[in-house]
């Protein structure tokens, strides 16, 4: 998952999965959900983000963040 804030437009993009976007739906004023070819969410765009969200902090809760490079499996030998 990737969060990207664009201060010049005061917009926040959250990418859930790196897949092609084939449809976008406005789910609330200034909030759009990006969908892939199977209707699965791949991203979220929020315009006027500083008026909608608290951008000063980012807290994560839940599963630990996985390493960027998967662990290598060792074969028994």
pTM equals 0.72
Query: If you compute the radius of gyration of the chain from its CA atoms, what whole number of angstroms results?
Result: 17
Q: How is residue 69 annotated by DSSP?
A: S
Return mean pLDDT, the chain: 86
Q: Has residue 77 got a pLDDT over 70?
A: no
In the chain, what percentage of residues exceed pLDDT 70?
A: 81
Name the pLDDT band for 43 (thresholds 50, 70, 90).
Answer: very high
How many beta carbons lie within 10 A of that of residue 49, not counting itself? 20
């Amino acid at each position: 998952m990737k969060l990207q804030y664009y201060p010049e437009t005061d917009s926040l993009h959250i990418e859930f999965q790196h897949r092609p976007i084939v449809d976008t739906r406005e789910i609330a004023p200034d909030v759009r959900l990006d969908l892939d070819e199977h209707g699965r969410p791949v991203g979220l765009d929020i315009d006027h983000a500083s008026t909608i969200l608290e951008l000063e902090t980012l807290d994560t809760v839940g599963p630990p963040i996985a390493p960027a490079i998967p662990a290598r499996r060792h074969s028994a030998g």
